Structure 1
Amino acid sequence: MSAAASPAAVGTLVPVEVHFDELDAMGVLHNGRYQLLVERAWATFWYRRGFGGADGLENDAFNVVKAFTITYDTPVSAPGTYAVNLWIDRLGSTSATAGYRVCSADGETTYAHGTRTVIRLDRTTFLPTPWSDRARGVAREIMVPRED
């Protein structure tokens, strides 16, 4: 699936806010802020489904980013409400690769797109550990069907 061509019909849209102080000297969203918007959207997605707990690091929420790619399509040039369109491309036993688009609140305009791969870790050993059945069920809600 092409992330740039992915309309809001796949995955889910999570609202995010861009504040005035996130714009750089040229009046556009600083490049490093896009990743922060994506991370906040993922945290919101999982938290709203009961993952994360009090300190945000329980069970399936204890994971680390292995890879993050981004392509900037057009600048965000004003504060306001936007969205991050999230979907799961691949769910392995201990990893997950997801696609995303930073987009307009209605999902029509894409500002940036890319992928994010995470690895679930055991909180004690810091070794990869399998996702729970519950996390797999939630991930399937926004998983892109595979074309085999």
Structure 2
Amino acid sequence: MTAEAPAAPAVAYGRLVPVAVHFDDLDALGMLHNARYPLMVERAWTQHWRERGWGFDGDWTAAGDFCNAVKELRISYEAPVTSPGAYATHLWLERLGTTGLTYGFRFCSADGSVTYAHGTRVLVRLDAGTLRPAPWSERFRTVGRELLRPAD
């Protein structure tokens, strides 16, 4: 008999993706190294999109909507992560434009109740041949709308 993985706790918007902090992610002071936060967020987004059929396997033309570049990354650190273990990344979309989007994220406790860091990342969809901005596909926009944060 195989045990099923526990479902991620619910969030009011977006998605909570489980992530693991390992001992070697910690810095000399025993805290999660500041450069690991964006890396873990990137891995969570990659997992999210792969589960929905997008990814990069070495061919930029075949990558379609996954042919994109980071234009901006902002992150604020709220509290240190001081031990390895189970955590989560709360992911959502702040904005979904024609050729760009803004991701929002929180690096948080596994249940989403404690925020350790939060930020945004702006992506631009690129044409694989010209590397100029290109529109997101309608399929991507449809799936992306599910992650849009409601207006306050």
TM-score normalised by structure 2 residue count: 0.88
Matched, 1:133 2:135: no
Helix, strand or coil: the match of 2:127?
coil
Which deviates more from structure 2 when the two are superposed, residues 51-60 or residues 74-83?
A: 51-60
Number of equivalences: 141
Cross-structure match for 2:119: 114
Aligned AA for 2:101?
Answer: A
Aligned AA for 1:11?
Answer: G
Larger radius of gyration: 2
Give the alignment partner of residue 88 of structure 2, picking from 83, 90, 106: 83
Q: 1:123 offset after TM fit, Å?
A: 0.8
Give the alignment partner of residue 73 of structure 1, picking from 70, 78, 82: 78
Contact 2:13 2:150 in 1 (8 A): no
Give the alignment partner of residue 51 of structure 1, picking from 54, 59, 63: 54
In structure 2, stretches of 5+ residues that fail to align are: 1-9
The 5 Å alignment of 1:17-32 reads: 17-32=20-35
Root-mean-square deviation (Å): 1.5
Please list the CA deviations of residues 26-64 of structure 1 after superposition, one character each: whole Å capped at 9, or x if unmatched: 100000100101111111110110001534850001111
Q: 1:144 offset after TM fit, Å?
A: 1.3
Contact 2:91 2:103 in 1 (8 A): yes
Contact 1:11 1:86 in 2 (8 A): yes
Please list the CA deviations of residues 6-35 of structure 1 after superposition, one character each: whole Å capped at 9, or x if unmatched: x93221001111110010111000001001
Q: Which runs of 4+ in 1 moved over 2 A?
A: 53-57
The percentage of counterpart residues that share the same residue type is 54
Aligned AA for 2:138?
Answer: D
TM-score normalised by structure 1 residue count: 0.90
Helix, strand or coil: the match of 1:76?
coil
Give the alignment partner of residue 38 of structure 1, picking from 36, 41, 46: 41
Aligned AA for 2:122?
Answer: T
Q: Measure, in 2, the Cα distance between the counterparts of 1:16 and 1:120.
A: 26
